[in-house]
Copies of this chain bind each other. A is one copy, B any other.
Amino acid sequence: MPKILVVEDEPDMLRGLRDNLAFEGYEVVETSDGNEVQRLVGSEQPDLILLDVMLPGMDGFEVCRQLREAGYTTPILMLTARSQEIDVVRGLELGADDYITKPFGVRELLARIKAALRRGGGVEGMTEHLRIGEAEVDLLRGQVRRAGRTYPLGHYESEILRLLTERAGQPVTRATLLDKIWGTDAFPTDRTVDNHIVSLRRKIESDPRQPVHILTVHGVGYKFIP
């Protein structure tokens, strides 16, 4: 079950959040001190952070900024009584994923948590390292490892694979691939896309003639299945 870090200095609020989250089955780690957050994120590896803005000492905005600067991508939901637009904008621009103003209903909070966890854990395109069947894909290095062999991924192969995984489960047209990847710099033909797909299958699929992950959607384009 997902682990949630709750950062809240009001004892009653902290207890309320902890109890409700625990009742929902989440594992809860808590602190009331903004200075503790980064250490806890590093050691506890939570799946989501509920972050009160008005903390003593380092406030929630600063905590969020530092986490993002340090490279953490954990979903952050800010909680606060400060509901002015400028505060909302500030929190979201600092890198928060959602901004919930008090008072809020527990059901709404839980629904927003679920929405954030749904995105944070389920989308495969968010990461540069992928496991696709037996293949380990490193999009950063442009490399696939499968069955004891290492295959290089060219620039365009990487881009195509990335777009398909970002849109896992949904058909992507060749026109979209051409538009999003080649843009207005070049105008290759559909055949170019097809060739790259064949090459990707050869590198990734256990049996390229019977692909399991990189599927053709006849008359539409291609689809990625995780």
Contact = CB atoms under 8 A, between A and B. Distances in A.
Interface of A: 42, 45, 69-75, 85-86, 88-89, 92-93, 95-98, 105, 107-108, 110-112, 114-115, 118-121, 123, 125-128, 139-142, 152, 155, 159, 166-173, 176, 180
Contacts of A142: 142, 155
Nearest to A44: B176
A139 to B, nearest CB: 7
Nearest to A68: B126
Contacts of A96: 115
A180 to B, nearest CB: 8
A140 B111 CA distance: 28
A171 B42 contact: yes
A88 B111 CA distance: 8
A105 B86 CA distance: 9
B89 A107 contact: yes
Contacts of A97: 115, 119
A127 to B, nearest CB: 7
Contact of A169 (B73, B75, B125, B180): B73
Contact of A170 (B73, B127, B141, B171): B73
A172 B92 contact: no
24 contacts: A42-B171, A70-B126, A71-B126, A72-B170, A73-B123, A73-B167, A73-B168, A73-B170, A85-B107, A86-B107, A88-B108, A89-B108, A89-B111, A92-B108, A92-B114, A92-B115, A93-B111, A93-B114, A95-B118, A97-B115, A98-B98, A120-B166, A128-B140, A141-B159
